[in-house]
Amino acid sequence: MVGNTPNYSRFDVIRCFLRLGMKISRQQLTRELELGEGTVRSILDILKQRGFILSNTQGHALAAKGLELDKKVASMVHVKPIQLALYPKSRSVAALVSSNARITYENRDIAVKAGAQGALIAQVRNHKLVRPDASVEQDFLILEKEFRLEDSEIMIITFSESYRNSENAALSVAASLNPELGQLIAKNFS
């Protein structure tokens, strides 16, 4: 007998994992991840089977193995929802990824294939965000205040109708720009 095809991706699994730094209920995860309760239960079961989380009646939290992995992920990428005046009706997410990779149009294509309506990608130079492909200088002051920027990083800004699509897209691009992160996600969250 063939089972149901999962309706979540490895990026949904890491999105869930990233929210478990503090004790959180399944209902709260369901709301924040924009996923169904059964899907969240399946994701939590995967994380529990791999020894990354502990669960009890008060909620779910990272186990020692999960805390160690969380430190590795945090050293490579930081993701948070943002509100940009440029896209006021969209659900936008910014991901700061450790990478010196060259930015190309293919990075935006990855974001769109992962569900974003679009993406802006900027390199950090002298602790400022710069878009090498843009003919007009953009003001990223709000992001420069929100994040501690280092010159070996790239900022990925994705936007769509849902935070889920925006986060999945930002993480997809981040994984493509940082091969170590991509391998870590493939190994632990697939």
pLDDT score at 59 = 83
Backbone region of residue 120 per phi and psi (left: phi > 0; alpha: psi in -120 to 50; beta: other values) = beta
Domain 10-71 and domain 74-189, same fold? Reply is: no
3-state secondary structure the chain: CCCCCCCCCHHHHHHHHHCCCCCECHHHHHHHHCCCHHHHHHHHHHHHHCCCEEEECCEEEECHHHHHHHHHHHHHEEEEEECCCCCCCCEEEEEEEECCCCCCHHHHHHHHHCCCCEEEEEEEECCEEECCCCCCCCCCHHHHHHCCCCCCEEEEEEEECCHHHHHHHHHHHHHHHCHHHHHHHHHHHC
Tell me the average pLDDT of the chain. 89
CATH class for the region spanning 10-71 = mainly alpha
Q: Which of the four pLDDT bands, split at 50, 70 and 90, describes residue 56? A: confident
Backbone phi and psi for residue 130, each to the nearest 5 degrees, phi listed first: -135, 130
The domain spans of the chain are 10-71, 74-189
Question: Would you say residue 2 has pLDDT above 60?
Answer: no
For the CA atoms of the chain, what is the radius of gyration? 17
Stated pTM of the model: 0.90
What confidence tens digit (pLDDT) does each residue in 3-35 have?
566 689 999 999 999 999 888 888 999 999 999
CATH class for the region spanning 74-189 = alpha beta
Q: Which residues contact 106 (CB under 8 A, 6 or more apart)?
A: none
